[in-house]
A and B are shown apart, each in its own frame.
Chain A
Amino acid sequence: ETGVTQSPTHLIKTRGQQVTLRCSSQSGHNTVSWYQQALGQGPQFIFQYYREEENGRGNFPPRFSGLQFPNYSSELNVNALELDDSALYLCASSLDLKWDTEAFFGQGTRLTVV
């Protein structure tokens, strides 16, 4: 079985631009979550998708938006990039929404905003 894959692995964008990050969930997983990890910090929850519907959102502005497709892959879109958006963006997939279900993480996309 394939794991969680993210693309691209690295990205450099200019302030004010827009970016789309992609995530393929692990086979059979219907839940995808996105996290932002600033340097030296723990991951912060952005939002979660369950069966193509947004199922929860963290404390991030509306310029962070997402999508989940029928095959349960997902996109994270960020508009009007700011320097503080520079971070490692992690995608995690899980089998379901249960509290004890393990989340499997991808390698992350390193976004640098200049």
Chain B
Amino acid sequence: GDSVTQMEGPVTLSEEAFLTINCTYTATGYPSLFWYVQYPGEGLQLLLKATKADDKGSNKGFEATYRKETTSFHLEKGSVQVSDSAVYFCALKGGSARQLTFGSGTQLTVLP
């Protein structure tokens, strides 16, 4: 079945540091790929998505590129802020099923 593997956390960075959170996936066909963010005590919010190979999703300074050849969708941000502290989930939809399949999440803490 489909699966998503995320870089293990937690990740702690200083403000304005560069962020990379690795995500790789296994799926049949050509899934859509998503990054969701979860702030403490809240549900999930879509951060960005990409629906086909070489697409780049971007939002709020975050970017991720759909790499079919490496089955990856790494999340990057050039300069993180304290307000970016949250748990980030990589997910896919498609492949063998129409529901979202999530990774285990990466906790990010940004220190001032």
B45 contacts partner chain A, Cβ-Cβ < 8 Å: yes
A50 vs chain B, min Cβ distance (A): 9
| Residues B44 and A43 in contact, CB atoms below 8 Å apart | yes
Interface size class for chain A?
Answer: 20 to 34
Contact code string A30-62 (vs B, CB < 8 Å = 1, else 0): 000101000011111100100000011010000
A106 contacts partner chain B, Cβ-Cβ < 8 Å: yes
Stretch at the interface among B11-19, B70-78, B92-100: B92-100
- CB closest residue in chain A, given B92: A99
Q: Which of B93, B102, B104, B105 contacts A99 (CB 8 A)?
A: B93
A25 to B110, CA, bound (A): 33
Interface size class for chain B?
Answer: 20 to 34
A4 to B42, CA, bound (A): 12
Q: Which of A6, A41, A90 contacts B44 (CB 8 A)?
A: A90
A108 contacts partner chain B, Cβ-Cβ < 8 Å: yes
- CB closest residue in chain A, given B46: A102
| Residues B104 and A41 in contact, CB atoms below 8 Å apart | yes
- CB closest residue in chain B, given A46: B99
Q: Which of A58, A103, A107 has the most CB of B within 10 A?
A: A103
Residues of B within 8 A of A106 (CB): 43
Residues of A within 8 A of B34 (CB): 102
| Residues B44 and A99 in contact, CB atoms below 8 Å apart | no
Query: 4 tightest A-B contacts by CB?
Result: A42-B102, A99-B94, A105-B43, A100-B51
Q: Which residues of B contact A (CB under 8 A)?
A: 4, 6, 31-32, 34, 36, 42-46, 49, 51, 89, 91, 93-94, 97-105
